[in-house]
Structure 1
Amino acid sequence: MARVYADQSRLMGTVSGLVKEIRPWQWYKQSILLLGLVFSKSLFDPVAVTNVVLGIVAFCAIAGATYIGNDIADVEEDRNHPRKKHRPIASGQVSIPVAAAFGALLFVGGLTLSWRLGPLFFIVILAYLAQNSLYTAYLKEIVIVDVMVIAIGFVLRAIAGVVAIDVYLSPWLVVCTFLTALMLALGKRRHEMTISDDPAASRAILAEYTEETLDHLLIVVLSALVVSYSLYTFFRGGEWMMVTLPFAFFAVFRYHHLVYTKDLGGNPKFLLGDRPFLVNLVAWGLVVIAILYQDPSQLLETIT
């Protein structure tokens, strides 16, 4: 009987570890696929919504397989990291063969669903996989390139959301997504520099950075982001989209404030736990939807 309980406990530990390995708390990253749905004014199109939801599921599966592959490749490095050493593979909770088999299952399922969403979506998924493979094998060791490649991964998500519903791909969507992701990646690097006495032991590329360098880069990217979003509202979004500028500026400034005062740069998901940031994000989304889906000038004429 004791052996049965031990086997059950081991099985539950493995299942729990596999769930942790696919990082369900990071699935919020796939919400970027919704941008194309919202800004193409397809939010209330059931076919478009269905395709984007399926696209999110496909990306979650592929991302999960990628996380597992990266953790297997980085297992020794993760064991020297103050936080990553507790990951299921690094800690030994999940064996490498079991993790590899589960990752392969997610990989095949994600690719199959991606193909059903169309050749262009499938190509974006392949590009995402290539980007992750290159990052893991080589690009993560090149200073500045490492954070840029991470940002490109988010751009590919945004593009996937667009091709899933076959609408126009705005260059402003690409630029603003890239700069936002780059901002978050730099904030994460800065956090990693500050939490460890020997940052290079947990991530080799950190030996190439200094806190001062990251601070300067972060300011440059923040500035470029607010300028890019402003230009979008001026030249593409229409005059009413300029109403959203205060929300965008507050979000960027609030992030900068949190990075330096509350050290939230290491895990961007904690931004959603910051009430001012979350309220501002929701307000921005509601205002954007109101502007895109109901011409404010017509609304004012109706009211008056």
Structure 2
Amino acid sequence: MAESSRTITPVPTVTGLLREIRPWQWYKQGVMFLGIVFSKNLLDLDAWINLLVGVAAFTAIAGAAYIFNDINDLEEDQKHPEKRHRPIASGQVSVPVGAAFGLLLAAIGFGAAYSLGPLFLGVLLAYLSQNVLYSLYLKRIVFVDVLIVAIGFVLRAIAGVVAIDVYLSPWLIVSTFLLALVLALGKRRHELEITTDPGETRRVLGAYSENDVDQLLVMTMSTLLMAYSLYTFFRTNSAMMVTLPLAFFGVFRYHHLVHTTGIAGQPKYLLTDGPSIANLLLWIGLVVAVLYDLPSVAIEVIR
């Protein structure tokens, strides 16, 4: 009777499927917009259309990857203090329904990707493949687990560039990789703090210690700031150096939050931190002003 009741009340299943594709994680696709900004194509309508199609495709494939991961990690997630509330782990969504929805998302994502050309489709295939390998094996290898997460962000950045067919700067790759690695290490540190038996909730966590992660965080943050500084010095308008204090503040702020709050567990909460939001908006404003030479444009308009 209980089983019958579940089948005639689809609302919990639908809301569960929505939670499975993690709408709160969609901010990660924001990395795809870096290419259109730094290639100076912000006013190109065709580029925007292609980019938005690419973002939709990537979001669908990411949703399929999340579902695959949750099905594969079902037993492990049920022991985790936070992940046990995920729809598949909690039983809100059955495995067959989740699998069918994941296949539908994959079909939609690859269909949209195909419309952007074989290169974009290849990037998306690479992203899905690395997620499958991560779920099946790589997440159990210490250090490799965080590196794979960072590579996922790099593939997003590459996808954003490929979608609009512009030059792929190696500085974009390096900076994206290092920033993502900082966030991944911060998340691992949070997981170590909230679990009494790290190895039980996530096997690889047993190989980490808070001290190790803290040292890796400092190393990666230092390298990130150095890479960004070199980019502003040598690879673009020297006026980009005015953005350095904002870049340093953003990294310093995150380091502070990692050690004083639980914000590292869900990087999306950075979008609720007032100083971080204000700093990000200022950084975006300065970057656009410098790259698009807005002061000169304003002077010409006034004249």
TM-score, normalising length: structure 2: 0.96
The residue that corresponds to 1:228 in the other structure is: 227
The residue that corresponds to 2:108 in the other structure is: 109
| Aligned-CA RMSD value | 1.8
Name the CA distance, whole Å, in 1 between partners of 2:50 and 2:296: 32
How many aligned residue pairs are there?
Answer: 302
Cα displacement (A) at 1:40: 0.4
CA deviation vs aligned residue, 1:173-197 (integer Å, no higher than 9, x gap): 0000000000000000000000011
Name the CA distance, whole Å, in 2 between partners of 1:221 and 1:103: 34
The residue that corresponds to 1:66 in the other structure is: 65
- In 2, are the aligned partners of 1:240 and 1:296 still within 8 Å (CA)? no
Name the CA distance, whole Å, in 2 between partners of 1:274 and 1:167: 33
Cα displacement (A) at 1:299: 5.4
CA deviation vs aligned residue, 1:9-56 (integer Å, no higher than 9, x gap): 730010010000000110000111000010001111100011111111
Name the CA distance, whole Å, in 2 between partners of 1:40 and 1:77: 43
The residue that corresponds to 2:215 in the other structure is: 216
The residue that corresponds to 1:265 in the other structure is: 264
The residue that corresponds to 1:175 in the other structure is: 174
Cα displacement (A) at 1:238: 1.5
Cα displacement (A) at 1:6: 4.6
1:281 aligns with 2:280: yes
1:254 aligns with 2:260: no
Name the CA distance, whole Å, in 1 between partners of 2:296 and 2:66: 47
Name the CA distance, whole Å, in 2 between partners of 1:298 and 1:196: 54
Name the CA distance, whole Å, in 1 between partners of 2:154 and 2:299: 36
Name the CA distance, whole Å, in 1 between partners of 2:300 and 2:12: 62
Residue identity (%): 59
CA deviation vs aligned residue, 1:53-72 (integer Å, no higher than 9, x gap): 11110011000000000000
The residue that corresponds to 2:132 in the other structure is: 133
Q: What 5-or-longer segments of structure 1 have no aligned partner?
A: none
Q: What secondary structure sits across from 2:265 in the alignment? A: coil
1:28-177 equivalent positions in 2, closer than 5 A: 28-177=27-176
Cα displacement (A) at 1:262: 1.3
Look up the equivalent residue of 1:86 and give its one-letter code: H
TM-score, normalising length: structure 1: 0.95
Name the CA distance, whole Å, in 1 between partners of 2:236 and 2:219: 24
Cα displacement (A) at 1:8: 7.8
Q: What secondary structure sits across from 1:103 in the alignment? A: helix
Q: What secondary structure sits across from 2:264 in the alignment? A: coil
CA deviation vs aligned residue, 1:144-195 (integer Å, no higher than 9, x gap): 1110010000000000000001000000000000000000000000000000
Q: Measured at CA, do residues 302 and 49 of structure 1 come closer, stay the same or move farther in structure 2, by a change above 3 Å? A: closer
Name the CA distance, whole Å, in 2 between partners of 1:42 and 1:235: 21
